[in-house]
Chains A and B, each alone.
Chain A
């Protein structure tokens, strides 16, 4: 299982999509291919943009629909971040 401390990589406000892309390509997708659990820990992160969350997880939702819902976890996400993650989860499922 891998845990990614989002504050350390994305800062207090997660908006930099280059960072989201880097996490997706180098950590999230390889872990899902090995069916490993991935936890995104948002402790200390005050907010995130929809673009950031989309760049982080939409590809995993599309490419690993059989594993992503059981293997990816979001820890310490505040209500705003939870809402944005939920929006991305919902519209990605709606669009597939």
Chain B
């Protein structure tokens, strides 16, 4: 397998990143970086860590000469997952407080609760921002722990960008992937599975409306909706397909939430290198004026309408002759 870290770390270029993935040799992972400048999103890091975990540290290496900007890979903990020693030697690492959460593995619900508590002071979040980020991490990690069947758990990383006042975060697992996770809905392709996963009220555990006592099929729809209402990017990659929700520009009208993710302004990629797991990445602007409770109102309305519409479709009509 080969991963290329370019100088385009923004989530809007996620399609370029996944198009260049090469998973031909599944027993070995080689990481190549741009020679002059490396700029990665947490999404790139957690996917790399998940694959390195799968093939083993002894079979994972960074094979190119890395530029000085690759020091960031060291700070985020990537060198802990590969056999290549860090070329940056020992140096005084910056205090992570207020900047980033390095690649972290969460294996159970108590680990999740601990991570959520520790994360907020690391990112120096205000109350409203903390609610949003805690919500996203809480739902995404739980999804992995419950549905991914990934022995290596959930792999998480986050970064705060001061110049744009934005938090980028990503979570990845090397589990069964969306297609297998949603097989009761009979998705034909990985792209179908992504569409189902982002549709409100669709759960991998039941086809019953309202879900089971444990699951309602709302988690990923909520996260995508939070990204949309705060005018940010959102990406998901599983199997041979990826979906990137495009950012709604500030000069565009108030974002309207859609129950069908493919009706959103998005980029869909298919025929990619097959990843047997799931990667979810999201950016959250802390400048946003949207209050969390307003977001919940919008999300709740679309969710309810989606269930209503599906139920109406199920009603049998009388036969008038």
Interface status of B304 (Cβ within 8 A of chain A) = yes
Asked whether, in the complex, the Cβ of A55 is within 8 Å of the Cβ of B113, the reply is no
Asked whether, in the complex, the Cβ of A62 is within 8 Å of the Cβ of B131, the reply is no
Interface status of B9 (Cβ within 8 A of chain A) = no
The 0/1 profile, CB within 8 Å of A marked 1, for residues 207-250 of chain B is 01111011110110010000000000000000000000000000
Q: How far is the CB of A30 from chain B (nearest CB, A)?
A: 15
Of A51, A79, A86, which contacts B142 at CB under 8 A?
Answer: A51
Q: In the complex, what residues of A have CB within 8 A of residue B130's CB?
A: 46
Interface size class of A (residues with CB under 8 A): 20 to 34
Interface status of A39 (Cβ within 8 A of chain B) = no
Kindly identify, within residues 114 to 136 of chain B, every residue whose CB is under 8 Å from any CB belonging to chain A: 116-117, 127, 130-131, 134-135
Asked whether, in the complex, the Cβ of B113 is within 8 Å of the Cβ of A15, the reply is yes
A50 CA to B226 CA in the complex, in Å?
13
Q: In the complex, what residues of A have CB within 8 A of residue B117's CB?
A: 11-13
Interface status of B26 (Cβ within 8 A of chain A) = no
A46 CA to B292 CA in the complex, in Å?
12
Q: In the complex, what residues of B have CB within 8 A of residue A13's CB?
A: 116-117, 134, 138
Q: In the complex, what residues of A have CB within 8 A of residue B134's CB?
A: 13, 15, 47
A49 CA to B132 CA in the complex, in Å?
10
Q: Contacts A51-B218, A51-B219, A87-B299 hold; do A58 and B304 have CB atoms under 8 A apart?
A: no
A15 CA to B110 CA in the complex, in Å?
10
Quick one: closest A residue to B128, CB to CB? A80
Asked whether, in the complex, the Cβ of A95 is within 8 Å of the Cβ of B210, the reply is yes
Asked whether, in the complex, the Cβ of A58 is within 8 Å of the Cβ of B300, the reply is no
A11 CA to B110 CA in the complex, in Å?
12
Interface status of A17 (Cβ within 8 A of chain B) = yes
Asked whether, in the complex, the Cβ of B216 is within 8 Å of the Cβ of A50, the reply is yes
Of A15, A21, A47, A91, which contacts B214 at CB under 8 A?
Answer: A21
- Sample of 25 A–B contacts (CB below 8 Å): A11-B113, A13-B117, A15-B112, A15-B139, A16-B112, A18-B109, A21-B213, A47-B134, A49-B142, A50-B139, A50-B216, A50-B218, A51-B142, A51-B215, A58-B213, A62-B210, A80-B293, A80-B296, A83-B296, A87-B299, A87-B300, A87-B304, A90-B304, A91-B300, A95-B209
Given A59-B213, A87-B296; 20 other pairs, CB 8 A cutoff: A13-B134, A15-B116, A16-B110, A17-B109, A21-B213, A49-B139, A50-B222, A51-B139, A51-B215, A51-B216, A80-B131, A83-B296, A84-B296, A87-B303, A91-B201, A92-B210, A94-B209, A94-B311, A95-B208, A95-B211
Q: Residues on B close to A: CB < 8 A?
A: 109-110, 112-113, 116-117, 127, 130-131, 134-135, 138-139, 142, 146, 201, 208-211, 213-216, 218-219, 222, 292-293, 296-297, 299-300, 303-304, 307-308, 311
